[in-house]
C-alpha cells in the first residue's frame, strides 16, 4: 500500500488515521476469510480486490477522473446505476460497514443512530475513505429518517443530490419515481456534460442486467444440496459488486460460477452434510461487515441466501430491455426499482412473500432476521414477518447487532441453540 500514499494525499485524506484503518483490515480479513477451508480457486480474484480495496480500484477512479469522467457515490439500491453509467460516470457504493468510522460519525450524529449511517458519515468526516474522497457527487435518498437527515450534514462536506423515494407503491408513486429519475438524469447530464440518450441508456440497462444475472447465477449455485461456496464468500462477492468495474466483475463472477457448477456436478461441498441451511433477512451488510455470517458459519450453520440489499434485493428482477423511447426506459426503470421490498415502504407485504419464496427455493431450515441497532423500520417489521413465518411453520430468530464484536459470544450461544433446534426438527421430520 506504500506506493499509494501520494495518491491518498492528493485525495486530501488523513494519512495517519488511514494507516490505523489499513493495519486492522488485513488481519480481520485473514481471520474471517482466509481461514476457510476448500474455498473455490476463483475466490482469489476477490481476495485480490479486497487487498487492493484502497489501492488499485482507487487508482482506476483517479484515472477516470483525470480523463474527465465523474465518480458518483450511492447509499441505496434504489438509486439507478443505469443512469450513472449512461451518463459516462462511474458509480460506487459508499455505505460504511466498519466500526472504525462510528466514533467520528458520533461526533456529529446522535449516538442512537444506526451504525450504517454513523459509519458512512464518519468515513467522510474522518477523511479516511478514499471512495468518498474520490466522489464528485453523492446521491442520497429519502428512505429512513437517519439517512434523510444525514444528507443535510454531509452536504456541508460534499455535494449531495437527494432522490425523493416514495414510501408507498401506488400508481401515483410510480409516476413520482419516474419524475425523480428524470431529475437525476438532468442532474447527471449537467454534471458530466454528457447527454443521456436512448442508446446509452439501453446499453447501460443491458450491462446492469448482466450484473444482476451473474449474481442470480451465483445465488442459484447456493440452492444445491451440497453447497459449493460459503455464505461468507457469497456475501463478499455481493459487497464487491457495489464498487468493482461492472464488466470485470461480470467476467470474474461468471468464471467463479463455472467453477461452482463443476463443484456441484462433482458433489464438492464446503460444509459437512446435514449443516442447517440458513436464510438471512434484514438490513444490508456493507463491507467489511461480515460479522453475522462469520458467527453463523462458525456456530454450525451455513448461509444459503440473503434477503437483503447486499443480497437478493440487489439483483432480483431485471429492467425491461425492450423499451424504445427514453420515457419508456424511465418507466421500465421505475417499474423494476419500485419492486424492491424495503421496510421503509408501507405496506411491505411483498417482502414477506419473498422471504417465504426464498426459504423454499434455497431449501432453508431456518431464518435469521438481522437488524442493525436503531433501525426502526426493519425492527418493527419483524412482528409481521414472524407472524407470517409462524403460520408457515418456518423457524425464525431475531438478531439485533451492530458492528462491534463485543456481543459475538452471546450471539453465538443463541445461534447454536437455534441450530440445535433446527436439527432436532429435521430428525423428527425424517422419523415421521
Ligand atoms: S432499499 S434497506 S439500501 S434504505 S440506514 S434503513 S439499516 S436505519 S439501509 Fe437500505 Fe435502501 Fe432500504 Fe436497502 Fe435501517 Fe440503517 Fe436506515 Fe438502512
Q: Closest Cα to atom 13, ligand 1: which residue?
A: 309
Helix, strand, or coil here: 348? coil
Segment 284-321, tens digit of pLDDT: 999 999 999 999 999 999 999 999 999 999 999 999 99
337/331 Cα distance (integer angstroms):
10
Cβ of 77 below 6 Å from ligand 1: yes
Q: Which CATH number fits domain 197-432: 2.60.40.10, 3.30.70.3040, 3.90.105.10, 3.40.50.11900?
A: 3.40.50.11900
- Quote the percentage of the chain above a pLDDT of 70: 100
* Whether the predicted pLDDT of 158 surpasses 90: yes
Q: Closest Cα to atom 14, ligand 1: which residue?
A: 375
Contact 127, 304 (CB under 8 A): no
Burial class (CB in 10 A: 0-12, 13-18, 19+), 324: exposed
**CA quadruple 319, 314, 141, 356: dihedral sign:** positive
Cβ of 309 below 6 Å from ligand 1: yes
Cβ of 150 below 6 Å from ligand 1: no
For residue 1, report the distance from its CA to the centre of ligand 1, in Å. 32
Cβ of 284 below 6 Å from ligand 1: yes
For residue 138, report the distance from its CA to the centre of ligand 1, in Å. 16
Q: Closest Cα to atom 3, ligand 1: which residue?
A: 76
Q: Show Cβ contacts of residue 279 under 8 Å, excluding neighbours closer than 6 positions.
A: 303, 304, 305, 306, 307, 355, 358, 359, 362, 364, 366, 367, 368
Residue 406, pLDDT score? 97
For residue 371, report the distance from its CA to the centre of ligand 1, in Å. 10
Residue 32, pLDDT score? 97
What are the cell numbers at 275? Answer: 449443516
- Per-residue pLDDT band at 258 (split at 50, 70, 90): very high
Could you give the dihedral angle defined by the CA atoms of residues 22, 27, 32 and 35, in that order, rounded to the nearest 10 degrees?
A: 140
> Average pLDDT for residues 212-220, to the nearest whole number?
98
More confident residue, 362 or 425: 362
Mean of per-residue pLDDT scores for the chain? 97
Q: Closest Cα to atom 10, ligand 1: which residue?
A: 76
Segment 324-362, tens digit of pLDDT: 999 999 999 999 999 999 999 999 999 999 999 999 999
Residue 426, pLDDT score? 84
* Whether the predicted pLDDT of 430 surpasses 90: no
Atom nearest to 309 CA in ligand 1? 13
- Per-residue pLDDT band at 431 (split at 50, 70, 90): confident
> Average pLDDT for residues 111-139, to the nearest whole number?
98
Max distance between CA atoms of the chain, in angstroms, equals: 68
Tell whether omega for the bond before 347 is within 30 degrees of 0, i.e. cis: yes
Cβ of 375 below 6 Å from ligand 1: yes
Q: Which of 178, 175, 196, 174 is nearest to 186 (CA)?
A: 196
Could you give the dihedral angle defined by the CA atoms of residues 251, 307, 235 and 111, in that order, rounded to the nearest 10 degrees?
A: 130
For residue 77, report the distance from its CA to the centre of ligand 1, in Å. 9
- Per-residue pLDDT band at 46 (split at 50, 70, 90): very high
- Per-residue pLDDT band at 1 (split at 50, 70, 90): low
Segment 75-96, tens digit of pLDDT: 999 999 999 999 999 999 999 9
Q: Closest Cα to atom 12, ligand 1: which residue?
A: 342
Q: Closest Cα to atom 6, ligand 1: which residue?
A: 144
Cβ of 144 below 6 Å from ligand 1: yes
Pocket probe mutation, ligand 1, options 166, 336, 342, max atoms within 8 Å of Cβ = 342
- Quote the percentage of the chain above a pLDDT of 90: 97
- Per-residue pLDDT band at 2 (split at 50, 70, 90): low
Atom nearest to 145 CA in ligand 1? 16
Residue 273, pLDDT score? 94
Atom nearest to 372 CA in ligand 1? 7
Helix, strand, or coil here: 420? helix
Amino acid at each position: 500500500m506504500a506506493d499509494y500514499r501520494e495518491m491518498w494525499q492528493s485525495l486530501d485524506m488523513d494519512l495517519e488515521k488511514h494507516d490505523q484503518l489499513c493495519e486492522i483490515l488485513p488481519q480481520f480479513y485473514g481471520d474471517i476469510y482466509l481461514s476457510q477451508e476448500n474455498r473455490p480457486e476463483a475466490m482469489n480474484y476477490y481476495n485480490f480486490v479486497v487487498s487492493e480495496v484502497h489501492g488499485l480500484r482507487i487508482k482506476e477512479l483517479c484515472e477516470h477522473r483525470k480523463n474527465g469522467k465523474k465518480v458518483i457515490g450511492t447509499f441505496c439500491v434504489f438509486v439507478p446505476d443505469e443512469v450513472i453509467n449512461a451518463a459516462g460516470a462511474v458509480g460506487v457504493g459508499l455505505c460504511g460497514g466498519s466500526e472504525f468510522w462510528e466514533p467520528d460519525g458520533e461526533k456529529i450524529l446522535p449516538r442512537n443512530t444506526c451504525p450504517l449511517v454513523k459509519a458512512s458519515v464518519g468515513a467522510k468526516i474522518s477523511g479516511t475513505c478514499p471512495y468518498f474522497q474520490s466522489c464528485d457527487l453523492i446521491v442520497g435518498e429519502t428512505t429512513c429518517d437517519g439517512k434523510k437527515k444525514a444528507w443535510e450534514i454531509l452536504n456541508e462536506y460534499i455535494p449531495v443530490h437527494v432522490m425523493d423515494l416514495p414510501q408507498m407503491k401506488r400508481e401515483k408513486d410510480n409516476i413520482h419515481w419516474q419524475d425523480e429519475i428524470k431529475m437525476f438524469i438532468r442532474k447527471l447530464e449537467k454534471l458530466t456534460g454528457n447527454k443521456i440518450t436512448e442508446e446509452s441508456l439501453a446499453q447501460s440497462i443491458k450491462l446492469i442486467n448482466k450484473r444482476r444475472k451473474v449474481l442470480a447465477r451465483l445465488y442459484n449455485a447456493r440452492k444445491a444440496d451440497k453447497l459449493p461456496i460459503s455464505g461468507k464468500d457469497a456475501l463478499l462477492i455481493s459487497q464487491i459488486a457495489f464498487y468493482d468495474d461492472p464488466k470485470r466483475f461480470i467476467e470474474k463472477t461468471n468464471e467463479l460460477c463455472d467453477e461452482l457448477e463443476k463443484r456441484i456436478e462433482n458433489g464438492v461441498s464446503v460444509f459437512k452434510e446435514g449443516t442447517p441451511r440458513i436464510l438471512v433477512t434484514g438490513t444490508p451488510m456493507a463491507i467489511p461487515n461480515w460479522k453475522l455470517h462469520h458467527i453463523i458459519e462458525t456456530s454450525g450453520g451455513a448461509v444459503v441466501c440473503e434477503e437483503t440489499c447486499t443480497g437478493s434485493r440487489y439483483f432480483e428482477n431485471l429492467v425491461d430491455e425492450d423499451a424504445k423511447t427514453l420515457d419508456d426506459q424511465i418507466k421500465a426503470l421505475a417499474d423494476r426499482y419500485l419492486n424492491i421490498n424495503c421496510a421503509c415502504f408501507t405496506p411491505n407485504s411483498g417482502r414477506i412473500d419473498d422471504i417465504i419464496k426464498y426459504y423454499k427455493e434455497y431449501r432453508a431450515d431456518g431464518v435469521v432476521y438481522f437488524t442493525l441497532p436503531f433501525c426502526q423500520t426493519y425492527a418493527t417489521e419483524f412482528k409481521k414477518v414472524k407472524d407470517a413465518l409462524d403460520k408457515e411453520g418456518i423457524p425464525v430468530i431475531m438478531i439485533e447487532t451492530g458492528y462491534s464484536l463485543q456481543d459475538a459470544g452471546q450471539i453465538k450461544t443463541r445461534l447454536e441453540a437455534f441450530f440445535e433446534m433446527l436439527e432436532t426438527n429435521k430428525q423428527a421430520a425424517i422419523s415421521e
